[in-house]
């Protein structure tokens, strides 16, 4: 019977050591590539606008995620307030930019995980977790003591430091990064992160090193592995061909890849003519064709 690896880390005391290392990163915050260097333990705020305590916008069983996560009872999704990336077109703009949500103690954070597990959710799915990794680890220890035993999903924009991800080895069984842009100029314009492509490539390599290709059980439910999301943008701005080539050649042709067609102008997208429209059916069909041409053989339904 499958058991998440974090249970053994908890039993050996390794999880406590990871918590201490992660907490120390908050003292001069160095958790993500922004490297704000503020003391979040004293509630100083950097780019993510989150201090010592985590902030949560909502939590509930989610049935709109990838089918291996959703199953019959949903993915236990916790929407974390704010984001270290901040794309101007974000479809959760009120959460990522306007910081909609409320501070919670790590004890309450843990209770949310248990509540979602008790509802039958197949996993605990942290949306935009990058900037609250230390708080997630602290809450996880409490949740395990209360009986948590389902996989954890790291649902990220892909702007993650390898050093931080290494603290998570054996804790997250499922990584689900976006790979948004392959062009540095595009990334600089839409999310003020010129180094996004380089960071995302390194992060996805590390994630795959830890968990490998996606593995599902006999009911089709994800137990372990990598899922990559790619949002098709108007006018080819996402760099789909180069991203698919990277995944096929540098990660695995069996990478479970979700090419998404739901882009629509949100947030500040109306200010930029290049992205102030939905994508066309042809643009989406072309993206699927490109993925296959570049060697990706495991596309999400």
What is the rounded distance in angstroms from the CA atom of residue 279 to the CA atom of residue 231? 10
33 domain-assigned: no
From the CA atom positions of the chain, what is the Rg in Å?
A: 18
How many C-beta neighbours within 10 Å does residue 289 have? 11
Global model pTM greater than 0.85: yes
Residue 78 lies in domain: 6-19+54-293
199 domain-assigned: yes
Domain count for the chain, please give it.
1
| CATH number assigned to the domain comprising residue 283 | 3.20.20.70
68 domain-assigned: yes
Give the torsion through C-alpha atoms of 184, 297, 215, 217, to 10 deg: 140
The helix (run of H) or strand (run of E) holding residue 98 is none
| pLDDT score of 2 | 86
The helix (run of H) or strand (run of E) holding residue 226 is strand 222-231
258 domain-assigned: yes
What is the rounded distance in angstroms from the CA atom of residue 101 to the CA atom of residue 202? 31
72 domain-assigned: yes
What is the rounded distance in angstroms from the CA atom of residue 23 to the CA atom of residue 29? 9
What is the rounded distance in angstroms from the CA atom of residue 214 to the CA atom of residue 59? 24
The helix (run of H) or strand (run of E) holding residue 192 is none
Cβ neighbourhood burial of 194 (10 Å; 0-12, 13-18, 19+): middle
298 domain-assigned: no
Ranges assigned E (strand) in the chain: 55-62, 75-80, 102-103, 124-127, 152-156, 174-177, 215-216, 222-231, 256-260
| pLDDT score of 99 | 87
Residue of 233, 228, 220 lying closest to 201 (CA atoms): 228
211 domain-assigned: yes
CA 301 to chain centre: 20
Residue 85 DSSP code: S
Maximal CA-CA distance, the chain: 55
Q: Which residues lie across from 61 on neighbouring strands? A: 76
Residue 30 DSSP code: -
| pLDDT score of 301 | 83
CA distances from 266 to 56, 63, 75, 121, 297 (A): 21, 22, 25, 29, 31
Residue of 208, 202, 251, 200 lying closest to 87 (CA atoms): 200
| pLDDT score of 1 | 77
153 domain-assigned: yes
**Structure token digits, residue 94:** 């009120």
Kindly give the confidence (pLDDT) of every residue in the chain, 301 residues in length, as a single tens digit, with 9 standing for 90 and above: 789 999 999 999 999 999 999 999 999 999 999 999 999 999 999 999 999 999 999 999 999 999 999 999 999 999 999 999 989 999 898 999 888 999 999 999 999 999 999 999 999 999 999 999 999 999 999 999 999 999 999 999 999 999 999 999 999 999 999 999 999 999 999 999 999 999 999 999 999 999 999 999 999 999 999 999 999 999 999 999 999 999 999 999 999 999 999 999 999 999 999 999 999 999 999 999 999 999 999 999 8
């Amino acid at each position: 019977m499958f058991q998440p690896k974090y249970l053994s880390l908890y039993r050996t005391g390794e999880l406590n050591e990871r918590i201490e290392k992660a907490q120390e990163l908050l003292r001069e915050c160095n958790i993500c590539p922004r490297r704000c260097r503020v003391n979040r333990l004293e509630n100083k705020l950097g780019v993510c606008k989150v201090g010592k305590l985590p902030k949560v916008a909502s939590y509930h069983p989610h049935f709109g995620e990838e089918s291996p996560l959703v199953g019959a009872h949903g993915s236990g999704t916790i929407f974390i307030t704010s984001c270290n990336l901040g794309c101007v077109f974000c479809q959760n703009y009120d959460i990522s930019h306007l910081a909609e949500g409320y501070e919670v103690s790590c004890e309450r954070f843990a209770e949310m995980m248990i509540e979602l597990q008790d509802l039958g959710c197949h996993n605990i799915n942290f949306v935009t977790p990058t900037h609250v990794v230390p708080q997630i680890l602290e809450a996880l220890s409490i949740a395990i003591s209360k009986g948590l035993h389902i996989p954890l999903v790291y649902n990220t924009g892909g702007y993650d430091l390898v050093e931080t991800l290494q603290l998570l080895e054996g804790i997250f069984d499922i990584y689900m990064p976006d790979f948004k842009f392959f062009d540095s100029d595009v990334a600089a314009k839409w999310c003020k992160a010129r180094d996004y492509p380089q960071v995302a490539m390194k992060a996805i390599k590390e994630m795959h090193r830890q968990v490998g290709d996606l593995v599902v059980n006999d009911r089709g439910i994800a137990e372990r592995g990598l899922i990559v999301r790619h949002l098709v943008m108007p006018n080819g701005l996402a760099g789909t061909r180069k991203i698919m080539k990277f995944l096929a050649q540098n990660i695995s042709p069996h990478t479970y890849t979700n090419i998404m067609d739901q882009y629509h102008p949100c947030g500040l997208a109306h200010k930029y003519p290049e992205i102030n429209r939905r994508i066309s059916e042809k643009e989406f069909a072309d993206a699927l064709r490109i993925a296959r041409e570049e060697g990706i053989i495991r596309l999400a339904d």
